[in-house]
Chain A
Amino acid sequence: MAVRNVAMREAIRRALREEMLRDESVFVMGEEVAHWQGTHRVTRGFLEEFGERRVRDTPISEMAIGGVAVGAAMAGLRPVAEFMTINFAFLALDAIVNHAAKVRYFFDGMFKVPLVYRAASGWGNQATASHSHAPEPIFAHFPGLYVGCPSNARDAYGMLKTAIRDDNPVLFSESIALYPKPGPLPDENDQDDLLVPIGKGDIKREGADVTLVAYSRGVDWALQAARALARDGVEAEVVDLRWLRPLDMGLVYDSFKKTNRCVIVEESLPMYSFGSEIAALLQENMFDYMDAPIKRVAAEDVPLPYSKEIELLALPNAQKVVDAVKEIV
């Protein structure tokens, strides 16, 4: 089977299109998804192919986007609702947290909510403070929801397909910075063997000296750092958790038992974070294997500014990961 490099956005587009072809109950809704062809071009060509019934432009109404998807899913459809950026999903937080995630529980299993919220996420490009969040951990806080955060084209393809087919609500966060990034993806349509189970992480690089735990864009920084560290004789293992809920901690523990050292890398903010959670779980469960303090690399604890130099200062990068590793190896 031919394998070709495709951008992550194209992999997501292909996955979504194939699922719409596969299951007539799948439809997309969101701001500018139809006539505009998608703000991030993920739904390019969909209106022409599937028509207005299944490709639904919405008004700028995030509360309704969030909640209509819940009702439609309860009633038997499989909505894929897009938030143009994850920043706007804050407006829908009640629909996501109090309804998508809880309807099944508070009616004790009477209904299922098979929906996917897609949202473009991340910092950078001088988008400024209100448009620069990577707040996936906020959503992963709440039981009832699953949260997926792919780091590359192939994972994005397989994860989105699984998310759409699953009967639980999934928040699917797509890093804007990773959208154009090419990655290998088999050419043929509907490759079910590429499906990524919900909650299954992946070792992106093997190494015996330190474990780098990351997701989404953080995996890029971790892999860059691993290559730089290798030149200095330090072999880093890169664990891409891929899903923030559920968390594949078995993968992290197995790696940590081997390396006894860990640096956690994330694009998001440092307080009450992905890094906090992983570090807490490691010290609770892997204390006997711990040879050094757990280090965390995250964004600076500040709203993101406009001006480029200080914007970059706030962001994590590969060098910050290298520096953190060098403190503990």
Chain B
Amino acid sequence: MPSPTKDMLLDWYRQMVLIREFEETCHQLYLQKRITGVYLHLYSGHEASGVGSMAALRKSDHVITAYRDHGIALILGMDANAVMAEMMGKKTGSSGGKGGSMHLASAAHNFWGGYAIVGGHLPLAAGIALEARYRGKDAVTMTYVGDGATNNGYFHESLNMSAIWDLPVIWIIENNGYGMGTEVARASGQTELHRKAEAYGIKSFGRVDAQDALAVYKVASQAVAYARDNGPAVIEHVTYRYRGHGVSDKQYDSRDDMSAELRQWMDEREPIKILRDHILGAHGDVGAALTAHDEAARQIVAQAVEFAEASDLPRSRDELLGNTYVRSPRVYKTAASIGAGID
């Protein structure tokens, strides 16, 4: 694994401050009821987990995640305008206003989407990886899964399937300490979540401090190389969520211990600060470049909000019903057909 160059590190910083700005703006927009969806799970605090690990991928590799998907979308280069418009349910949103916060995707970026049912995307990841094996491609599928999802059946079945079929998947468990409101230790008999890999004969790359993008990148690079040549790999990213499970999470307001814990993570393990300190330490005079990225993030997100708010809502029945099915000459339809879709 080559050490990350100065340009790489600056690009990681650019991604991380963009995510933070985007997510904190979403939080404000939610409070102001300018984003009205009930589900909005923010990636603030998780930035290094996605940025460091996806830096180990090639363009031809695949990425899929759960509902905490804004950061993943932005790292992959999805247009912030289209992502913000999706938050607001606009026609110009990346999913035309049909998916919302939890269903961002971009086929052009090999981003197979964010999924809202806990664990539901895990067999999809295995299926995407199967296509690569089936066709003899060397692409890997990087799959993000929360700590809570490691307790449901999808996790078990999908990891097991990836093992028996040697599928090139990197299962990244983003352990932020809580599955919704339940601490990991109250939900899982095995609290070192990466050790669940052992049950399936999958290689674990252990537990990583996922507030440190460099540490994440180092392990992810090893796991990606391994998965490309061999089969599935597991990594546990230890991280923390700054805005609760979702924006409607009241636990951080009602529980003093959680608020203290949050403050401690923000003070001591802040991922953007850790990366910034590293860059400044290793490369000296980059302060201006960092400041430029800070400013660019503010501009990009401000412009995204402006774009999204100026965009139209879908309102027609055609927009409502469209894309339920693929338009198909094999489907027989008459004026009296029921349930055929309008496409």
**A238 adjacent to chain B (CB < 8 Å):** no
Contact A199 B340 (CB under 8 A): yes
Residue of B with least CB distance to A195? B330
Contact B98 A106 (CB under 8 A): yes
Chain B interface: which of A40-48, A109-117, A218-226, A289-297? A109-117
- Docked Cα-Cα span, A79 to B127, in Å, equals 10
Contact A61 B325 (CB under 8 A): no
Given contacts A67-B126, A68-B127, A95-B120, contact A246 B160 (CB under 8 A): no
**A8 adjacent to chain B (CB < 8 Å):** no
Given contacts A27-B134, A94-B120, A108-B96, contact A64 B326 (CB under 8 A): no
**A233 adjacent to chain B (CB < 8 Å):** no
Contact A109 B323 (CB under 8 A): yes
**A245 adjacent to chain B (CB < 8 Å):** yes
Interface residues as binary, A27-65 with B (CB distance below 8 Å gives 1, 0 otherwise): 100000000000000000000000001001011010111
Chain B interface: which of A13-21, A96-104, A178-186? A96-104
**B277 adjacent to chain A (CB < 8 Å):** no
What are the residues of chain B within 8 A of A63 when measuring CB–CB?
Answer: 123, 153-154, 157-158
Max chain A Cβ within 10 angstroms of own Cβ: one of B95, B124, B336, B337: B124
Chain B interface: which of A70-78, A299-307, A308-316, A319-327? A70-78
Contact B99 A107 (CB under 8 A): yes
Residue of B with least CB distance to A254? B336
**A190 adjacent to chain B (CB < 8 Å):** no
Shortest distance between the CB of B26 and any CB in chain A (Å): 19
Contact A110 B107 (CB under 8 A): yes
**B250 adjacent to chain A (CB < 8 Å):** no
What are the residues of chain B within 8 A of A99 when measuring CB–CB?
Answer: 115, 117, 120, 124
Contact B324 A143 (CB under 8 A): yes
Contact B331 A246 (CB under 8 A): yes
Shortest distance between the CB of A1 and any CB in chain B (Å): 23
Contact B332 A168 (CB under 8 A): no
Shortest distance between the CB of B151 and any CB in chain A (Å): 14
Partner of A67, one of B123, B160, B324: B123
CB within 8 Å of A: which B266-325 residues: 322-325
What are the residues of chain B within 8 A of A76 when measuring CB–CB?
Answer: 131
Chain B interface: which of A128-136, A159-167, A262-270? A159-167
Q: How many residues of B contact A (CB 8 A)?
A: 55
Contact B120 A168 (CB under 8 A): no
**B146 adjacent to chain A (CB < 8 Å):** no
**B341 adjacent to chain A (CB < 8 Å):** yes
Shortest distance between the CB of B202 and any CB in chain A (Å): 14
**B161 adjacent to chain A (CB < 8 Å):** yes
Shortest distance between the CB of B136 and any CB in chain A (Å): 10
Contact A105 B333 (CB under 8 A): no
- Docked Cα-Cα span, A162 to B330, in Å, equals 7
Shortest distance between the CB of B157 and any CB in chain A (Å): 4
Contact B103 A140 (CB under 8 A): no
Contact B113 A71 (CB under 8 A): no
What are the residues of chain A within 8 A of B107 when measuring CB–CB?
Answer: 110-111
Contact A61 B157 (CB under 8 A): yes
**A66 adjacent to chain B (CB < 8 Å):** yes
Partner of A64, one of B99, B116, B121, B154: B154
Contact B113 A59 (CB under 8 A): no
Shortest distance between the CB of A166 and any CB in chain B (Å): 5
What are the residues of chain A within 8 A of B165 when measuring CB–CB?
Answer: 56
**B185 adjacent to chain A (CB < 8 Å):** no
Contact A73 B127 (CB under 8 A): yes
**B3 adjacent to chain A (CB < 8 Å):** no
Contact A197 B95 (CB under 8 A): no
Residue of B with least CB distance to A97? B117
Contact A71 B123 (CB under 8 A): yes
What are the residues of chain A within 8 A of B333 when measuring CB–CB?
Answer: 199, 246
Contact A144 B130 (CB under 8 A): no
Partner of B127, one of A69, A105, A167: A69
Contact A59 B330 (CB under 8 A): no
**A227 adjacent to chain B (CB < 8 Å):** no
**A198 adjacent to chain B (CB < 8 Å):** yes
What are the residues of chain B within 8 A of A110 when measuring CB–CB?
Answer: 95, 105-107
CB within 8 Å of A: which B61-118 residues: 62, 95-99, 103, 105-107, 112-113, 115-117
Residue of A with least CB distance to B328? A166
**A271 adjacent to chain B (CB < 8 Å):** no
Contact A199 B326 (CB under 8 A): no
What are the residues of chain A within 8 A of B105 when measuring CB–CB?
Answer: 107, 110-111
Contact A77 B131 (CB under 8 A): yes
Contact A67 B332 (CB under 8 A): no
What are the residues of chain B within 8 A of A146 when measuring CB–CB?
Answer: 325, 331
Residue of A with least CB distance to B327? A167
Shortest distance between the CB of B121 and any CB in chain A (Å): 8
- Docked Cα-Cα span, A198 to B332, in Å, equals 6
Shortest distance between the CB of A154 and any CB in chain B (Å): 17
**A203 adjacent to chain B (CB < 8 Å):** no
**A281 adjacent to chain B (CB < 8 Å):** yes
What are the residues of chain B within 8 A of A95 when measuring CB–CB?
Answer: 120, 123
Given contacts A59-B161, A63-B157, A64-B161, contact A104 B126 (CB under 8 A): no
What are the residues of chain B within 8 A of A198 when measuring CB–CB?
Answer: 328, 330-332
What are the residues of chain B within 8 A of A72 when measuring CB–CB?
Answer: 127-128, 130-131, 134
Shortest distance between the CB of B166 and any CB in chain A (Å): 12
A residues near B (Cβ < 8 Å) are 27, 53, 56, 58-59, 61, 63-77, 79, 94-95, 98-99, 103-112, 114, 140, 143-144, 146, 162, 165-168, 195, 197-200, 245-250, 253, 281, 285
Closest 8 A-B residue pairs measured CB to CB? A71-B127, A67-B123, A108-B96, A75-B131, A246-B340, A71-B124, A109-B323, A64-B157
- Write 15 A-B pairs (CB below 8 A) sorted by A numbering: A59-B164, A64-B154, A67-B127, A70-B124, A72-B127, A79-B127, A94-B117, A98-B116, A106-B95, A198-B330, A246-B332, A248-B332, A249-B334, A249-B338, A285-B336
B residues near A (Cβ < 8 Å) are 62, 95-99, 103, 105-107, 112-113, 115-117, 120-132, 134, 153-154, 157-158, 160-161, 164-165, 322-326, 328, 330-341
